[in-house]
A = this chain, B = another copy of it.
């Protein structure tokens, strides 16, 4: 059993989903690990890791429209507004989605289903740079 760890950096223009599948797969291939488990962990509380449908881009806009309605920016129940109307909604969205993902690896690849992509979902409106720790344990 071996392990490898790296930091993946993603630059984002603002709220929305960015497909990081290829970036993760490229690093995985470099590790040479054939069978194991890949862990992804995002080091922020205003964005999420998400596995979602990777074929039709309206899935992303529909999910965003749903979350914008469920957790409205500027909602009067929020007191934590230091960084703006999207500050607390970003934390709520992060709580409702995922900070860590664990994806089994087989035959040197992530065992993703055919329609599954890995996304970094940014919840703040402003551009930012986000860090993800990727870790693989296996053989």
Query: Which A residues lie at the B interface, using CB under 8 A?
Result: 1-3, 5, 35-37, 39, 41-45, 50-53, 56, 58-59, 61-63, 65-66, 69-71, 75, 77-80, 82, 88, 91-92, 94-104, 106, 111-113, 115-116, 131, 133-135, 137-139
Contact = CB atoms under 8 A, between A and B. Distances in A.
A43 B114 CA distance: 8
A36 B41 CA distance: 13
A104 B37 contact: no
Given A66-B77, A80-B62, A52 B94 contact: yes
Contact of A78 (B39, B62, B139): B62
B51 A116 contact: no
B39 A104 contact: yes
A135 B45 contact: no
Which 10 A/B pairs are nearest by Cβ-Cβ distance? A43-B113, A104-B135, A1-B1, A58-B80, A58-B79, A104-B133, A45-B53, A51-B99, A100-B102, A111-B133
A134 B35 CA distance: 12
A126 to B, nearest CB: 16
